[in-house]
């Protein structure tokens, strides 16, 4: 599901980037669909990691994933600012977001699984 959700987010973001500013309502619709598709996919990740991990490690896994997720904010915000300062257009910032969606879709398709992991296999 993650690959499909991020693939949809990528499609909507590319439609957003290719739509003229004259069509502001359509741009707003594409952006809403892209962010909504991404949010739905993120909700699936939250439930999935708690379902497949052993109960003894769900808290650790939740903390680890939240720590890694914060890394995107630490790196992404300054990078977006630099892109905007350099190119003076929000298209470059949203283009970066489209690249992130593409990486997420490819990673999910290649590596994501939803198999239950026995505790003995992790230790």
At residue 122, the pLDDT reads 60
**pLDDT recorded at residue 77:** 92
In this predicted structure, what is the pLDDT of residue 123? Answer: 60
User: What is the maximum span of the chain, computed from C-alpha positions, in angstroms?
Assistant: 59
Q: What is the pLDDT of residues 41-97, one digit of tens each?
A: 877 777 777 777 778 888 888 888 889 889 888 998 999 999 999 999 999 999 999
pLDDT, position 80: 93
pLDDT of residue 65: 84
- Three-class DSSP category at 117: coil
- The phi, psi pair for 102, rounded to 5°, reads -65, -45
CB 31 within 8 A of CB 96: no
Q: Give the residue numbers spanning the domain of 90.
A: 2-122
Q: How many domains does the chain fold into?
A: 1
Phi-psi region of 55 (alpha: psi -120 to 50; beta: other; left: phi over 0): alpha
Residue 31 has pLDDT above 90, yes or no: yes
């Amino acid at each position: 599901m993650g690959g499909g959700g991020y693939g949809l987010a990528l499609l909507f973001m590319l439609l957003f980037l290719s739509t003229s500013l004259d069509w502001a309502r359509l741009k707003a619709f594409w952006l809403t669909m892209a962010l909504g598709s991404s949010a739905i996919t993120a909700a699936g990740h939250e439930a999935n990691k708690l379902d497949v991990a052993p109960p003894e490690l769900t808290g650790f896994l939740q903390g680890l994933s939240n720590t890694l997720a914060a890394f995107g904010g630490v790196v992404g915000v300054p990078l977006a600012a630099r892109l905007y300062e350099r190119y003076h257009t929000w298209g470059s910032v949203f283009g970066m977001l489209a690249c992130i969606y593409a990486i997420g879709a490819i990673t999910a398709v290649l590596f994501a699984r939803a198999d239950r992991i026995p505790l003995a296999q992790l230790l």
